[in-house]
Amino acid sequence: MEQSVRVITIDGPAASGKGTVAERIAHELGFHYLDSGALYRLATYRALKLGTPLDDAEALERVASSMAPVFEQGRILLDGEDVTLRIRTEEVSRATSRVAAVPGVRKALFDLQRRAAKAPGLVADGRDMGTVVFPEADLKIFLTASARVRAERRALQLEARGETADREALTRDLEERDRRDRERAEAPLKPAPDAKLLDTSSLGIEEVVKKLLDWWDEAR
Ligand code: CDP
């Protein structure tokens, strides 16, 4: 990475608001935005579509390393198909936390993520942005929120897309996914030692964005 490229990492558990906040910060600062979760979702969607067994680590690595998604004006094309919404279903979310635990899959997606760091800067969101992919980042954030609040946020997201949401099932799914993300051997979900922690349970998007921009002003 060039020396002049500034990097802000935003990690945290499922539905902690990382994506919305990261996109907003990138917009405010004129930086690029990397949604690393989308890459894991794409690899998983592709594996499901190809009928790849989710316990076949080598086959999953091949699926991830040979994919060539196209990001175009807010839409994602994969193998000629518009998968923008298809990678966001709960079925894909659940399977993704299994596929993301495979070291070969993480290796396959590493360079793709590093290449997203372009001038003037990058805001990267995920689970291991501050710990593994961009350990040299200028500012590292770790967002949390209670499981109940996160399930409610995810429910509202699904309902906004015209889908129904079972809040109890969502809470169970989120907790199960977080457990798998935290307990995996490779790049587990955890704050970098130098990350700033923010519990967003009782904060709105605007308040979180403002807090992070204040931290960025202090960090520069
Ligand atoms: O939107 P949400 O927070 O629910 O999920 P996401 O950020 O799209 O990530 C989906 C899944 O991908 C997570 O549950 C992780 O298992 C995996 N992931 C990962 O392992 N490493 C990343 N840097 C980003 C996502």
pLDDT of 205 above 80: yes
Does the pLDDT value for residue 2 go beyond 90?
A: no
Contacts 24+ apart (CB under 8 A), 149-157: 149/200, 149/201, 150/13, 150/14, 150/15, 150/16, 150/174, 151/15, 153/15, 153/17, 154/14, 154/15, 157/15
Cβ atoms 24, 33 nearer than 8 A: no
| Each residue's pLDDT tens digit, 134-152 | 999 999 999 999 999 999 9
> Burial letters for 20-35: b for 16+ Cβ neighbours within 10 Å, e otherwise?
ebbebbbeebebbbbb
φ and ψ at residue 77, rounded to 5 degrees: -105, 135
What pLDDT was estimated at residue 209? 98
pLDDT over 70, % of the chain: 99
What local confidence, expressed as pLDDT, does residue 3 receive? 57
Candidate from 127, 170, 181 with most ligand 1 atoms within 8 A of CB, to mutate: 127
- Per-residue pLDDT, 38: 98
The confidence score (pLDDT) of residue 220 equals: 80
Q: Which of 54, 132, 180, 181 best tests ligand 1's pocket when mutated (most atoms within 8 Å of CB)?
A: 181
Mean pLDDT of the chain: 95
In this model, does residue 39 exceed pLDDT 90? yes
Tell me: pLDDT of 112 over 90: yes
pTM over 0.75: yes
Q: What is the pLDDT of residue 4?
A: 83
Ligand 1 atom closest to Cα of residue 99: 16
Give the integer Cα–Cα distance in Å for 124 and 40. 14
Say yes or no: CB of residue 150 within 6 Å of ligand 1: no
- The 10s digit of each residue's pLDDT in 144-197 is 999 999 999 999 988 998 989 999 999 999 999 999 999 999 999 999 999 999
Backbone φ and ψ for 20, nearest 5 degrees, come out as -60, -45
What is the C-alpha to C-alpha distance for residues 10 and 16, in angstroms, rounded to an integer? 10
Tens digit of each residue's pLDDT (9 = 90 or more) over 76-100? 999 999 999 999 998 999 999 999 9
